[in-house]
Amino acid sequence: MPAIFHLFLAIASEVIASSALKASQGFTQPFFLGIVLIGYGSALYFMSLSLQSIPLSIAYAIWSGVGTFATALIGVFLFRERLAPGGVLGISLIVMGVVILNQFVDGHQDVQP
């Protein structure tokens, strides 16, 4: 399975876990606590698989950028959180940074152990 697919599984798992963390209301909702534990465990597992081929700097930048963007959208639409203009600007800059990093850094070559 391609490393980029593992990376996006890691991102999806982390975003789900972070959303469940909010829904757990301070770990008072056991169902969501289970999702948090499974989600973060899966995120770390899939991230470790992606790091076999993708350099850490690239993988982490993509993970944090896409994860931040997706988590912010979930906060706005699912949890009805407000995102101030400064927050929109900051998240936009993060996303632009990830795009620039992927366009100008040749980091998607397979790394031999």
Does any domain span residue 95? yes
pLDDT at 99: 84
pLDDT at 104: 77
Task: Go through 74-93 and write b for each residue having 16 or more CB atoms within 10 A of its CB, e for each that does not.
Answer: bbeeeeeeeeeeeeeeebee
- Domain of 32 in residue numbering reads as 3-104
Q: Model pTM?
A: 0.84
Number of independent structural domains in the chain? 1
| DSSP 8-state symbol, 2 | -
Does any domain span residue 12? yes
Does any domain span residue 66? yes
Does any domain span residue 87? yes
Task: For the chain, report the end-to-end CA distance as a whole number of angstroms.
Answer: 18
pLDDT at 111: 45
Does any domain span residue 112? no
Does any domain span residue 109? no
Distance between CA 68 and CA 94 in Å, rounded?
Answer: 8
pLDDT at 59: 92
pLDDT at 113: 45
Does any domain span residue 110? no
Does any domain span residue 19? yes
Distance between CA 11 and CA 68 in Å, rounded?
Answer: 10
pLDDT tens for the 113 residues of the chain, in order = 799 999 999 999 999 999 999 999 999 999 999 999 999 999 999 999 999 999 998 899 899 999 999 999 999 999 999 999 999 999 999 989 888 887 876 654 544 44
